[in-house]
Amino acid sequence: MRKIFAMLLILMLIPLIPSTAERSRAFLRVPAVYQTPDGLLSGTLGNLTVEVEKGEGIVYFSAEPLTQIDTQGAARTAALVASYLLGIDPKSMNFYYRLESGSTVVGGPSAGAAMTVATVAAILGKQVRQDIIITGMINLDGIIGPVGGIPQKLEAAARAGAKMFLVPAGQEIVEETVPKQVRIGPLILTTVEKRKVNISELGAKLGVKVVEVSTIEDALNYMLGLKIERPSTERPEIPKEVKELLSKWVRNYLNQSEAIRGSVRSEVGKLGALSKRVINSILSDSENYSSSARDEMAKGNLYTAASYAFQSVVEADYARSLLNYALRGEDAVNELMRRADSKLKEVGERLNSTKPQDLSGVEAIIASKARYYDAKNALKRAADLASKGSYLDSMDWGAIHYLTYAYWRADSASNWMDMMGLSQRMQVDEIRVKEVASAILYEAESVISYSESLIEETGASSSYLKEAYSNLNDANTAFSSGDYYGSIGLSTTALAYGIISIHEWFTSDPNAVEEAVKSSCYSSINALMSKGIIPVLALSYSEMASSMEGSILESIAYYELASAHAHVISLLSQVSGEQIETKSSLETTSTVERVTVTQTVKEESGIQETYLIAALILGVFLGFVVGRKSH
């Protein structure tokens, strides 16, 4: 009887034990930059704590002091990337981020890579090396992106005793701005002086080894001793059915382009010498695009060929539109306006009445929506120019050129809908589509905001950043109106341009970045294709990127775009509970760990065991006392 009573006491005590083992935690130090009262930049280290537990995909973020939106956005991206790497549905967990820093304002997503490392560590129950400090953005594809203030962050890491400092690939040499006072008579003026800093050399002087890292996998290898095996980085092959559709686009555009050029040539003799020369020049451009399309088709680059063929038909039709304007005046412009408006309405109705039945259908809708919005903007711009009588090109396109483009852009949106039905049929979760749209939009806002702040500091400007903002504004409009597919397409484009605008000014070795982005892109596409999913957009953009490798920034932009679309499809298709294989580079054996989400940090398990032992001892003691009294 005594023993039974004692065991009952133990069982009553166990539920009172704190459930700390349900939440895993990881800690590391992150570098930040703040501005001193005299206008100089200085580095400091903040404390980052990340906790994860089973949940509903909610990301909690708190900071002291308060942070800007781009830092908070980095936490959401870190949760997505860590989940993707480990094959975990991000909707199956809750993520808690706490960032404490000595800087007055913690701005910029430069803690994104550190957050991702800490998130992986928390999920796996691993400890992070505290003698290694990392700075860098984290992109959706796991690429570690460029950041500012690296020299100051390195100095802060050195003061804290760090032995290694991880920086984004391509940023071994950075340019920093330093305020400089110049005396002119009785006046003292403050100017800005730019100078290049070799981070590796600076690190050597400070006793810190500087290492460039391209991907989050590189960082995990250094900071956790973890090697993640990812799918092949070989260039993926576009499936036969996709090639057939792309070939059809190319042939149709080339045939239409040729027919239009023929009709224009038969009528252009009616014009004066100057008008004739202008139109013949445009026809020549159209022919050149057709020739480029045939060349790319011969190489097997069918999406690139389709892009050239599209430009060919736009220019051919523009020549025809100019001819009609020269012969008929404003009536020709009004007819173009009605044609473009009618085409947009036709495509819009088709888009609104179509629901995707598989993941390739999702991509088809996303691609169509993005092109539809582009056509709408072109039509709006044309109407504005026409109201001012600006029909012809000068420094920029005139109304006639925009109207021609709007029509054919809407036509290309219709073409993309033919890509539906290429993957296995599946139920598309519209709630999840909205959640992914929100995540991509938030990430785009974060990166673009950070890019703007960095570029402003240099006094430079970027056409990529302007393009990013244009797409971001449209993405916000689409999301607010409930068009989540359109928002995804526009947000991913905005995100790619935002990232490339940072590379434009802050990456000294874009070739290293291109190679890293390409490998990550191919790996993501191959992972999807191994599951029977055909990521048409990602395949198309990656092909375009490979054909543009002579133009390094454009190539990186298309690889980023391809990778982002691959990750969108991955997020929409992911099933909770999937596992990946990892290898620890610190182990002496070749044992492969099976990664699960049930592991917890050792310290917390120890606390749980302590409570359990205490409960047992107390139970035994009470049993002994009860036994004594019963005698």
Does the pLDDT at position 404 exceed 70? yes
CA distances from 537 to 186, 533, 568 (A): 63, 12, 11
Confidence of residue 18 (pLDDT cuts 50, 70, 90): very low
Cβ neighbours around 602 below 10 Å, total? 11
- How many angstroms separate the CA atoms of 447 and 578, rounded? 29
Higher pLDDT, 604 or 170: 170
Supply 376's token pair: 């709408």
* Boundary of a domain, candidates 558, 574, 590: 574
Please name the amino acid found at residue 613: I
Mean pLDDT of 297-310: 96
Q: 445, 439, 456, 409: which is closest to 313 by C-alpha? A: 409
Question: Domain end: 529, 548, 574, which one?
Answer: 574
Residue 42 located in a structural domain: yes
- 199-209 in b/e form (b: 16+ CB < 10 A) is bbebbeebebe
Range of the domain at 101: 24-224
Task: Match 């420094």 to its residue by tokens.
Answer: 395
pLDDT of residue 602: 37
Residue 583: CB atoms within 10 A of its CB come to 17
CATH number of the domain encompassing residue 123: 3.30.230.10
List pLDDT tens digits, range 129-138. Answer: 999 999 999 9
pLDDT bracket for residue 630 (50, 70, 90): very low
And the tokens for 296? 């790319």
137 part of a folded domain = yes
Distance CA 441, CA 490 (A): 9
Per-residue pLDDT tens digits for 173-215? 988 766 666 666 666 666 667 788 999 999 999 999 999 999 9
Nearest to 84, CA basis, from 212, 221, 231: 231
Find the mean pLDDT for residues 541-566.
92
User: Beta 164-168 vs 173-184: how paired, if at all?
Assistant: unpaired
Q: Which residues contact 118 (CB under 8 A, 6 or more apart)?
A: 26, 27, 28, 48, 49, 50, 78, 128
Q: Where in 130-289 does DSSP place strands (E)?
A: 132-134, 137-138, 144-145, 164-168, 173-184, 187-198, 209-213, 226-228
Residue 372 lies in a domain: no
What average pLDDT score do residues 323-334 get? 95
Q: Is the residue at 393 inside a domain? A: no
Backbone angles phi, psi at 172, to 5 degrees: -65, -35
Average pLDDT over the chain reads 84
DSSP string, 335-374: HHHHHHHHHHHHHHHHHHT---SBHHHHHHHHHHHHHHHH
* Identity of the amino acid at 116: T
Last residue of a domain, one of 176, 201, 224: 224
CA distance 533 to 526: 9
Residue 90 belongs to some domain of the structure: yes
Q: What angle do CA 222, 223, 227 make, to 5 degrees?
A: 60
Q: What is the pLDDT of residues 461-487, one digit of tens each?
A: 999 999 999 999 999 999 999 999 999
Query: Alpha-carbon distance 355 to 267, whole Å?
Result: 44
pTM: 0.82
Which residue, 158, 245, 235, is CA-closest to 203?
Answer: 158
**DSSP per-residue string spanning 52-112:** EEESSS-EEEEEES-B-HHHHHHHHHHHHHHHHHHT--GGGEEEEEEEE-SSS-B-SSTTH
Q: Is 143 helix (H, G, I), strand (E, B) or coil?
A: strand
The answer to whether residue 410 sits within a structural domain is no
Cβ atoms 156, 43 nearer than 8 A: yes
Q: Kindly state whether residue 586 falls inside one of the protein's structural domains.
A: no
Beta carbons of 407 and 339 less than 8 angstroms apart: yes
Residues 6+ apart with CB under 8 A from 233: 518, 519, 520, 522, 523, 526
With a cut of 60, say whether residue 415 has pLDDT above it.
Answer: yes
Q: Say if 494 falls within a structural domain.
A: yes
- Please indicate whether residue 595 or residue 100 has the higher confidence score (pLDDT): 100
pLDDT tens digit sequence for 560-569? 999 999 989 9
Residue 471: DSSP 8-state: H
C-alpha pair distances (Å), 623 with each of 132, 474, 613, 631 = 51, 71, 15, 13
Predicted local confidence at residue 607, as pLDDT: 38
Radius of gyration of the chain (CA): 29
3 state SS of 497: helix
Which residue has tokens 């929506």?
Answer: 369
| Cβ(109)–Cβ(137) below 8 Å | yes
What are 106-118's pLDDT values in tens digits? 456 889 999 999 9
Domain count for the chain, please give it: 2
Residue 13 Cα to chain centre, angstroms? 49
Cβ atoms within 10 A of the Cβ of 499, count?
A: 31
582 strand-pairing partners: 228, 593
For the cut 80, the answer to whether the pLDDT of residue 12 exceeds it is no
Residue 279 has pLDDT above 90, yes or no: yes
Determine contact, residues 48/30, Cβ cutoff 8 Å: yes
Helix 330-352 vs helix 302-328: crossing angle, to nearest 10: 140
